[in-house]
Amino acid sequence: MIRKAVIPAAGLGTRLLPATKVIPKEMVPIVDKPTIQYIVEEAVASGIEEIIIVTSRSKRAIEDHFDASVELEDVLERKGSLAQLDQIRSISRMAHFHYVRQARPLGLGHAVLCARRLVGDEPFAVLLGDDVFVGKTPCLQQLIQVHEETGRSVVAVQEVEETEVSRYGVIRPLPIRERLWDVESLVEKPQVAEAPSNLAVAGRYVLTPDVFDILECVGPGRGGEIQLTDALSLLCQRSGLVALEFEGKRYDVGDKRGYVRATLEFALQDEVVRSDIFAFLERYYAREGTA
Ligand code: G1P
């Protein structure tokens, strides 16, 4: 059973400046909810009970968001706004939250290693905050099912255009069955010519705890950072790694285009604003055309 999830949230979010100058990128809202709340909700919907968030200086707002807000709850109670009160209370009751600091920006692999003591000796999930998924079955739940079946570490992958491979960790795959591969090795952000496939790692992982020993030893990789991808490439030779092509859609909300697309997707799923937004877009296209 996978009970614990690590959410690395120490990055600076330079792709969304100036929004992220003061606000942690994880707190930038999509419609009316901070991005990180969607990530936590996916984890909880997949059966996770303990959420470990790896933070850094200037990320206080994340802890405050998942804490009870006594003053706000008092005001809502006095006003009789019970639906809102329920909504606000449920945020801090979704799971048990734990925080650990990453003092220096040494990379994603290092951020995961910071959670070692809190995770202990059990398999755990990692969810990256820039990747928001939409679909019938939560992406993490799909990975957990494969982990339960195989007992091995699992990464989510998706096919990307050849020109996009240099933005991702890319796997060298050996087919197991439809949508499932044994991973022989991985490369972090390869050039097109070096890429072993066009199957890119999306930001969801289920990892066995032996990955921590590897992370302790792995040196700096791409960009001079300690890369999770490099540790996983070594894990392939030890306890093994499988890759699942998940079902559903993924949005890179750390990027301006992905962020706007995700905002539209969630706005169109929101019963209150859906018809209004459709009508607005229709009028907009009629007036401005598609150019
Ligand atoms: C990270 C990982 C990369 C993965 C990507 C998914 O990169 O290092 O392997 O493919 O997330 O979003 P980042 O986007 O943080 O540079």
At residue 169, φ and ψ (nearest 5 deg) are -75, 135
Q: Mean pLDDT over residues 245-267, rounded?
A: 95
Distance, CA of 176 to CA of 178 (rounded, Å): 7
Q: Is the same domain home to 248 and 278?
A: no
- Mark whether 277 and 259 lie in a shared domain: yes
Q: Please state the pTM of the whole predicted model.
A: 0.95
How far does the centroid of ligand 1 lie from the alpha carbon of residue 123, in Å? 21
The CA 270 to ligand 1 mean position distance, Å, reads 29
Tokens 């040196």 map to which residue? 219
The alpha carbon of 198 and the centre of ligand 1 are apart by a number of angstroms equal to 14
The residue whose C-alpha atom lies closest to atom 11 belonging to ligand 1 is 203
Report, as an integer, the average pLDDT of 190-214.
Answer: 97
Q: Are residues 160 and 282 in the same domain?
A: no
Q: What is the mean pLDDT of residues 131-135?
A: 96
Q: What is the pLDDT of residues 145-154, one digit of tens each?
A: 999 999 999 9
SS3 199: strand
Predicted confidence (pLDDT) per residue in 94-115, tens digit: 999 999 999 999 999 999 999 9
DSSP conformation class of 31: T
The answer to whether residues 290 and 164 belong to one domain is no
Is the domain of 233 the same as that of 270?
no
β-pair partners for 251:
132
Claim to verify: residue 210 and residue 284 sit in the same structural domain: no
In 3D, which of 17, 54, 18, 23 has the Cα closest to residue 215? Answer: 54
Pocket of ligand 1 contains residue 128 by CB under 6 Å: yes
Helix locations, the chain, DSSP H: 35-45, 60-65, 70-79, 82-93, 108-114, 116-119, 139-150, 211-217, 228-237, 256-269, 274-288
Contact 144, 2 (CB under 8 A): yes
Domain membership of residue 263 as a residue range: 255-291
CB 239 within 8 A of CB 210: yes
State residue 12's pLDDT score: 86
Q: What is the pLDDT of residues 67-92, one digit of tens each?
A: 999 999 999 999 999 999 999 999 99
Say if residue 185 is in the same domain as residue 238. Answer: yes
Q: Indicate the top mutation candidate among 132, 155, 167 to test ligand 1's pocket, ranked by most ligand atoms within 8 A of CB.
A: 167
Residue 27 and residue 76 share a domain: yes
- When pLDDT is averaged across residues 198-205 and rounded to a whole number, the result is 98
Q: Look at phi and psi of residue 80 and say left if phi exceeds 0, alpha if psi is from -120 to 50, else beta.
A: left
- How far is the centre of ligand 1, averaged over its atoms, from the C-alpha of 53 (Å)? 17
What is the model's pLDDT at position 288? 82
Distances (CA, A) of 260 to 32, 114, 265: 14, 32, 9
Q: Are residues 139 and 260 in the same domain?
A: no
Q: How many CA atoms lie within 13 A of 65 on its CB side?
A: 19
The CA distances from residue 29 to 37, 87, 220, 274, in Å, are 9, 16, 33, 17
Ligand 1 in reach of 201 Cβ (< 6 A): yes
**CB–CB of 204/128 below 8 Å?**
yes
- Extract the tokens encoding 135: 């679909």
SS (H, E, C) 72-138: HHHHHHHHCCHHHHHHHHHHHHCCEEEEEECCCCCCHHHHHHHCHHHHCCCCEEEECCCEEEECCCC
Q: Give the Cα separation of 153 and 162 in Å (integer).
A: 26
For residue 233 and ligand 1, the question of a CB distance below 6 A is answered with no
Express as a percent the part of the chain with pLDDT over 90: 92
Domain at 110, CATH number: 3.90.550.10
144 lies in the same domain as 208: yes
Q: Is any atom of ligand 1 closer than 6 Å to the C-beta of 168?
A: yes
